Structure 1
Amino acid sequence: MGGNPVKGGGYLLRGLQLLTEPGLRTFVIVPLIVNLLLFSTAIYLLIQQFGNWVDYWLSLMPEWLSFAEWLLWPLFALLVLLGVYFSFTLIANFIAAPFNGLLAERVEHRLRGTIPPDEGWRELLASTGRALQRELAKLVYYLPRLLLIFILTLVPVVGFAAPLFWFFFGAWMMAIQYCDYPMDNNRVSFTHMRQLLKSRRLSSLGFGALVSLGMLVPVINLLIMPAAVIGATLFWVEEFPEQARGVPSRR
């Protein structure tokens, strides 16, 4: 497996440092607002419904497993937390996709020292359809794998390793989610994008793991989406210099 997980995580940290750079602030605001609204909603739902959801899952257990309820409660609690986390993360990325693609384009032009096209909202509207199609492609990729991991979680013995499955898949999912923005701008197909990330798997997992962990930290999680877009663009330009020679265009 190629790459370096420490270097991969470093791209996110560098993305955080660039959030306030002139010329990028405008494109950071919308992802921040989306994150604020959705994660506030997620926290509210968890506070209001967490116990009910866990009790519902426990009620589905067969009678003969009732003796193990004390052992299964933490597992189902984890499933509820992960379910809410992944659901709201996917929704946030779907809503913010056009803005994230525009931010990735601006960052890449800045890194190359080129002048981005000054098309503003016209460019955003023109690219929205393609951005949403790309998000649907990610969902088609994610959902069967999420279902498989969920099923493995319910398998006796194997289920005890579920937190590791969820963590590594979450890291891989975050790497795909955010690295796709600069690669899509450069017309890299979804399949080829995954192949490129696999060639730098350790760097990809390091980047995605830090994004996943950052999403769990209050306040910091509001900054993670735009920072991850910027970090992923740095990842694209520096990890794949042979691929990333052109000037990005979302049209």
Structure 2
Amino acid sequence: MTAAEDGTTANTARPGVVSSFVEGVGIFFGGFRLWGTSPKRMVLGMIPAAIVGVVFIALIVVLAVNAVTITDWATPFAETWDEPYRSSIRIAAAVALIAVAVVVVLYAYAAVTLLVGDPFYERIWADVERGLGEAPAESGESAWRGLLTGLGRAVGLLLLTVPTGAALFVLGFVPVVGQTVVPVLGLAVGGWFLALELTGYAFDARGVSLRDRRRLLGRRRSRTLGFGMTVAVLFLLPALSVLVMPAAVSGATVLARRALTEEAAGQLSARA
């Protein structure tokens, strides 16, 4: 993969919302190119994804089995209501619960997998950086130090998912909106947090804080959502999530580099 393939050329013209979203989708699928250059590392990247995936599938099964109990617990006020109002409010609560679960489970799966497989994914990231050129200097930090860095990043983002998930749960009780818009919002929010987490290697290596990372990707929100939501949809399919994880790390590196290059080009243009 060359710098041109990375999209880090001097062209800074901003495409439309739809084309930016499609560009993000393309960046993700471009991550599969690493299968051609580093297949062994990509296979190694599937191992932690598979291990963590088994645990999360078990958690999802537990959630599904207890979904009725949870929704009943969340709506005690509806116990004395007549039908169909009682069932309607509890269906709304179930949909809201699913939306919140999508946000939390998708992000948690990515975060835990990156922590468990940090040595593998860091090598995948480094391979992509070297292939694109102008790779940042190796940090030289120990494995434990890298684990602590990843853990701090994961906790920081997890704290952001809590109020977001709470807001989605409340919106789930709004008639029509809760059953149509909220599930899509849950997927979009989940995709956004996935993009923030997966770009961690590229941004951390350049000393970019979480706050600046959010700003950089937020200015390119359609592209970021195109990437993140594609990952999110495929993560919902357990068999594919194992295959997708190493490719997502590869694609996220391109996503981060492109945002940084465009930001630098924009600053140069503003000074000219």
- TM-score class, shorter-chain normalisation, is 0.7 to 0.9
Shift of 1:15: 1.6
The residue identity in structure 1 corresponding to 2:171 is L
- The equivalent residue for 1:153 is 172
Once the two structures are overlaid, the 10-residue window that deviates more, 168-177 or 106-115, is 106-115
For the residues of structure 1 that align with 2:259 and 2:114, how far apart are their CA atoms?
A: 23
In structure 1, distance between residues paired with 2:165 and 2:221: 19
Distance 1:26 1:168, change over 3 A: closer
1:106 is matched with which residue: 127, 135, 138? Answer: 127
RMSD over aligned CA atoms reads 3.3
Provide the C-alpha distance between the structure 2 equivalents of 1:159 and 1:65, rounded to a whole number of angstroms.
21
Q: CA 1:27/1:112 → structure 2, altered by over 3 Å: closer, same or farther? A: farther
Which position in structure 2 is the counterpart of 1:88? Answer: 105
1:188 aligns with 2:204: no
Name stretches of at least 5 consecutive residues in structure 1 with no aligned partner: 246-251
Which residue of 145, 156, 159 maps to 1:140?
Answer: 159
Matched residue, 1:228: 248
Q: 1:172 to 1:69 in 2, by over 3 A?
A: same
1:9 to 2, 25, 29: 25
Gaps spanning 5+ residues in structure 2: where?
A: 1-15, 266-272
- Give the C-alpha shift of residue 107 in structure 1: 2.3
The separation in 1 between residues aligned to 2:214 and 2:128, in whole angstroms, is 21
Given that 1:179 and 1:233 are in contact with CA atoms closer than 8 Å, whether structure 2 keeps it comes out as yes
* Structure 2 residue matching 1:154: 3-state secondary structure: coil
2:235 corresponds to which of 192, 210, 215: 215
Deviations 1:124-171 (A, max 9, x none): 323111111111111122211221222222245653432233233223
TM-score of the superposed pair, with normalisation by structure 1: 0.79
Choose 82-91 or 169-178, whichever is displaced more: 82-91
Amino acid in structure 1 at the alignment position of 2:113: A
Change (3 A) 1:65 1:87: farther
Alignment-derived partner of residue 4 in structure 2: none
TM, length-normalised to structure 2: 0.74
How far apart, in 2, do the equivalents of 1:8 and 1:73 lie?
36
Using a 3 Å threshold, how does the CA distance of structure 1 residues 198 and 114 change in structure 2: closer, same or farther?
closer
Query: Counterpart of 1:45 in structure 2: which amino acid?
Result: V
Q: Who is 1:45 aligned against?
A: 62
Do the aligned partners of 1:38 and 1:88 also contact (CA within 8 Å) in 2? no
Q: Which residue of 1 aligns with 2:45?
A: 28
Pick the aligned partner of 1:68 from 55, 77, 85. Answer: 85
Matched to 1:107, the amino acid is: V
Aligned partners of 1:24 and 1:116: how far apart in 2? 20
Letter in 2 for 1:219: A
Report the more deviating stretch, 23-32 or 185-194: 23-32
